Amino acid sequence: MSKLLSRNIFDALGGTWNLRRTILSKLPTSPSGRVTGTATLLPYSWPPHPTFLYSEVGEFKTKSGQVLQAYKKYLYHYDEGNVPDWERVSVWYVKEARDNNNGNSQKVEPGSLLHRLDHEGLLVDDGEPDMVGEPVSGSWTATASHECGKDQYDATYDFNFKGGELRDWRLQYTVKGPEKDYSTDTWFSQGDRGLGSS
């Protein structure tokens, strides 16, 4: 995968996406259900590299009929250093605290690393790697993993381009641990597009 292609994918994430998530739990202590909502990725200042603040809001309807509010924040970070191309994209937790200089708003700061997208997991399903001046087309897959105590989180990302435009993308998680056994499948489709990382 070329550096140009990995940067094109990162830049294309910017904007607002409609999301649909299915959660399937194999344990009775953790609910299954569906989440619908939006995810917005806006430029975030984390010099010297481009970063998006991912903010997700939605409604989680469990199979039992309970309705809960869904809320998540992460940082998507593009590192232009001398590392393998696809490992330039990483996802980080955020730390939130009250911003005393701005009323009751929440101040967001980078937290610990969640995972790095693995270039070795990259597959080209169709289309060809982009050439300078030609639009990106095709589907690309990357994987990522994260250990949290005794729990293992394995992620798969799928990005679907056509004519240089990111049409949709998918994030699947499989989570295993002593008290966790569930999977999630999230589709992001086009909402209010056109907010690049600049």
The pLDDT value recorded for residue 152 is 96
- Record the pTM: 0.83
Return all residues near 50 (Cβ < 8 A) that are at least 6 apart. 10, 11, 43, 77, 78, 197, 198
CA distance 112 to 116: 12
pLDDT of res. 198: 44
Give one DSSP letter per residue of 87-109, joined into a string. GGEEEEEEEEEE-TTSTTPEEEE
Measured over the CA atoms of residue 107, residue 59, residue 38 and residue 175, the dihedral's sign is: positive
Domains and CATH numbers, the chain: 3-193 (2.40.128)
**pLDDT tens, position by position, 123-155:** 444 445 444 445 556 788 888 999 998 999 999
Would you state the pLDDT for residue 79? 82
Q: What is the pLDDT of residue 98?
A: 67
* 10-residue stretch averages of pLDDT, the chain, 198 residues long: 66 94 94 97 91 97 95 91 61 83 72 83 47 61 90 94 87 94 96 52
What pLDDT is recorded for position 192? 56
**Which strand (E) or helix (H) includes residue 156?**
strand 151-162
